[in-house]
Amino acid sequence: MRVEGSHYDFVDWVPKPCIPGTMFYAPERIATCNIGKRNEIIIQCPCRVDVGLIDYSALKFTDGKNDYKAGEMSFAGDAYTKTRVKIISGVDKIKSERPLIVKHIAELMRKVTDYNGGFEIETVAHPYKHIGFGSSAMMSESTATAINILLGEPLSFWELRKLVAYNFVEEADSEGKMVFPGASTGGSFNTAKYGGFVITSSECEMIFRVEIPEDVRFVVGTPRIHVAGPETSDTDVNCMSWERHNERINAAKSSLWIVTEVMPFAVQGNWKRVGDAFYNYTLFGGKAMQMLYYQSALADTLFEMKANHIDGGWMTSAGPSLVAFTREGDGSIENAQKIFQKRNFDVVIIKPVNNGISEISSIF
């Protein structure tokens, strides 16, 4: 795939399917495990409702160059991925909706530690796949976190975040037993770890976090169109040149809005002003092209949300889902639902989560 950075700047990307456990980035040390009497754990991981990247021109497939400068803004929500991991002596036993991703993480954890045993892993994923809720990322991050805890936390969170983000994969659409290099910022792991509203910058570093008001609701509308992973996604493949070309200007606008509007007003608790910035970020930045490419009246829908005085709106991740930022008691939840339903969008309401990954007693 040839990606255009400008009229004179081209980059050729040739990502290919690979086997689970393929390492694009390896830490400098092999970590020493400290396994105790405990051999089983169950955790739950909130989803992330992505607002978008700081700089789309910096987004790229996992490639081993470890040049992570795209950044991300995202909220934690109550669509949970649950993971049970048990240490066993034999080969891995995996029961999961995303077995290749789980296998990938298990292999990585063995390669970067002195543990050479097996894992019994069972997951219950949230039901929303490839619509902007971080389904692949949450599966990776919950599995890695659970394994790391059982091994006595040989990796710090900083090390674990880099390991997962810099080796991020999705399932390959063309090869049934292979994975495909994905595109990661590390923002989903920060959001899942700490909860709340989180901004991640270069090198996967969290630079900002505030709690989300309890009465906030994310009303998410998804048009009934085909969606796919990065290997065959129309938007990812066909919009990447547009993104890199136009984001040379749009990234500066996004950064200004984030620093001068999103961050200060979030600190003040003025979420209406934050929501206005999200509208601007989505409609006048790189996401506008993605919305047009889906041909599902996404921009029209977003303008209608703004005209109906819904506090904030954006397209989550690479779409196609739109998010209405609403509050209980002011009628905006019902207004957002009506706007989505008249366009025959599937609608789900997500509650905010201000605590991150946590241990639970049962996977069901």
Kindly state the average pLDDT of the residues 44-73. Answer: 90
Kindly state the average pLDDT of the residues 165-180. Answer: 89
Euclidean distance between CA atoms 235 and 242, whole angstroms: 10
Confidence band for 147, pLDDT divided at 50, 70 and 90:
very high
For domain 216-350, give the CATH superfamily.
GHMP kinase, C-terminal domain (3.30.70.890)
Its pTM stands at 0.94
* Position 8 pLDDT exceeds 70: no
- Whether 139 contacts 96, CB under 8 Å: yes
Q: Is 273 helix (H, G, I), strand (E, B) or coil?
A: helix
Tell me, what's the pLDDT at 168?
A: 96
Confidence band for 67, pLDDT divided at 50, 70 and 90:
confident
Euclidean distance between CA atoms 339 and 336, whole angstroms: 5
pLDDT digits (tens, 9 = 90+) for 103-143: 999 999 999 999 999 999 999 998 887 777 889 999 999 99
Higher pLDDT among residues 56 and 232, named by residue: 56
Same fold, 2-8+17-211+353-359 and 216-350: no
Euclidean distance between CA atoms 283 and 306, whole angstroms: 11
Euclidean distance between CA atoms 222 and 292, whole angstroms: 15
Tell me, what's the pLDDT at 103?
A: 98
Euclidean distance between CA atoms 177 and 193, whole angstroms: 29
Tell me, what's the pLDDT at 236?
A: 59
Confidence band for 205, pLDDT divided at 50, 70 and 90:
very high
Six token digits for residue 145: 């976190």
* Position 310 pLDDT exceeds 80: yes
Alpha-carbon 348 to chain mean position: 18
Tell me, what's the pLDDT at 7?
A: 58
* Position 277 pLDDT exceeds 60: yes
Tell me, what's the pLDDT at 245?
A: 73
pLDDT digits (tens, 9 = 90+) for 209-260: 999 999 999 999 999 887 765 565 555 556 777 777 777 778 888 999 999 9
Domain ranges, ordered by start, for the chain: 2-8+17-211+353-359, 216-350
Tell me, what's the pLDDT at 46?
A: 97
Euclidean distance between CA atoms 52 and 316, whole angstroms: 7
Tell me, what's the pLDDT at 18?
A: 93
Least confident of 182-186, 275-279, 355-359: 182-186
CATH node for 2-8+17-211+353-359: 3.30.230.10
Euclidean distance between CA atoms 215 and 210, whole angstroms: 15
DSSP class per residue in 28-82: SSPBPP---S--EEEEEEEEEEEEE-S-GGG-----SS------EEEEEEEEEEE
Kindly state the average pLDDT of the residues 162-178. Answer: 90
Kindly state the average pLDDT of the residues 155-159. Answer: 97
Which uninterrupted H or E stretch holds 174? Answer: none
- Whether 19 contacts 108, CB under 8 Å: no
* Position 11 pLDDT exceeds 80: no
Higher pLDDT among residues 7 and 127, named by residue: 127
Higher pLDDT among residues 51 and 317, named by residue: 51
Euclidean distance between CA atoms 141 and 11, whole angstroms: 30
Tell me, what's the pLDDT at 233?
A: 58
Q: Are strands 93-95 and 118-124 parallel, antiparallel or unpaired?
A: parallel
* Position 85 pLDDT exceeds 90: yes
Confidence band for 6, pLDDT divided at 50, 70 and 90:
low
Confidence band for 56, pLDDT divided at 50, 70 and 90:
confident
| Percent over 90 (pLDDT), the chain | 71
Tell me, what's the pLDDT at 345?
A: 96
Kindly state the average pLDDT of the residues 3-24. Answer: 78
Euclidean distance between CA atoms 8 and 3, whole angstroms: 11
**Average pLDDT of the chain to the nearest whole number:** 91
Region for 199 from its dihedrals, namely left if φ exceeds 0, alpha if ψ lies in -120 to 50, beta otherwise: beta
* Position 193 pLDDT exceeds 90: yes
